């Protein structure tokens, strides 16, 4: 019941935020959720603050950096550490996701962990790149002013094996 309440609240929040984001750069109408399935795993390649795309600040935002899997058929995601391939599932790094019908908002609903539903602006989604943005405290330090970070991903072709931590009975990601 709690998941349904959270999902409803998330949908309501996404509907309220969409008109406010209309002046921002948006993903093209041709973006397709199935493009997430074009690669079994995606790697964070760059993080930058809005207005400064030439400066990579990944080191300041380690919480958003990693390898991720997306299963659009079941709307499931899971995040992994880039060095070990260990799952971030127990800290909110796995659950359900959806992209709104206007292709402008990407919403995550974690299964477990301290993180609640997260609404992100979809910037780019195609077979070569997946980029979202969201507002966070600068350098992810509480009480710092908010900045909009852009998190860029590319299909992952490295050798790190990712080991899913999805609980038994939970649909697995690829």
Is pLDDT of 133 > 80?
Answer: yes
Give me the pLDDT at residue 142, please: 92
Question: Would you say residue 112 has pLDDT above 60?
Answer: yes
Q: Is 113 left (phi over 0), alpha (psi -120 to 50) or beta?
A: left
All domains of the chain, ordered by start, with CATH?
Answer: 2-14+33-155 (2.40.128.540)
Residue of 40 and 86 predicted with greater confidence: 86
DSSP characters over 17-83: HHHHGGGS----TT--GGGGGGSS-EEEEEEEETT-TTS--GGG-GGG-SEEEEETTTTEEEEE-TT
Residue 7, pLDDT > 60, answer no
Residue 73 pLDDT class (50, 70, 90 cuts): confident
pLDDT for 9: 57
30-44, 51-65, 114-128, 150-164: range with lowest mean pLDDT: 30-44
Residue 20 vs residue 64, higher pLDDT: 64
User: Per-residue pLDDT for 101 more than 50?
Assistant: yes
165 has pLDDT over 90: no
Q: What is residue 156's predicted lDDT score, i.e. its pLDDT?
A: 95
**Which are the contacts of 117, defined by CB distance < 8 A and separation ≥ 6?**
6, 7, 9, 10, 13, 107, 108, 109, 110
Contact 80, 87 (CB under 8 A): yes
């Amino acid at each position: 019941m709690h998941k349904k309440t959270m999902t409803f609240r998330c949908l309501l929040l996404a509907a309220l935020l969409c008109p406010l984001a209309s002046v921002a750069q948006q993903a093209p109408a041709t973006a397709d959720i199935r493009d997430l399935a074009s690669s079994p795993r995606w790697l964070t390649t760059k993080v930058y603050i809005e207005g400064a795309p030439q400066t990579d600040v990944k080191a300041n935002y380690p919480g958003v950096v990693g390898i991720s899997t997306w299963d659009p058929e079941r709307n499931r995601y899971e995040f992994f550490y880039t060095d070990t391939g260990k799952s971030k599932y127990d800290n909110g790094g796995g659950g359900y996701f959806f992209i709104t019908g206007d292709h402008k908002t990407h919403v995550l609903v974690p299964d477990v962990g301290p993180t609640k539903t997260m609404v992100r602006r979809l910037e780019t989604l195609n077979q070569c790149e997946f980029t979202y943005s969201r507002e966070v405290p600068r350098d992810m330090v509480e009480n710092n002013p908010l900045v909009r970070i852009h998190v860029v991903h590319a299909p992952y072709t490295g050798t790190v094996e990712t080991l899913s931590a999805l609980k038994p009975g939970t649909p697995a990601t690829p």
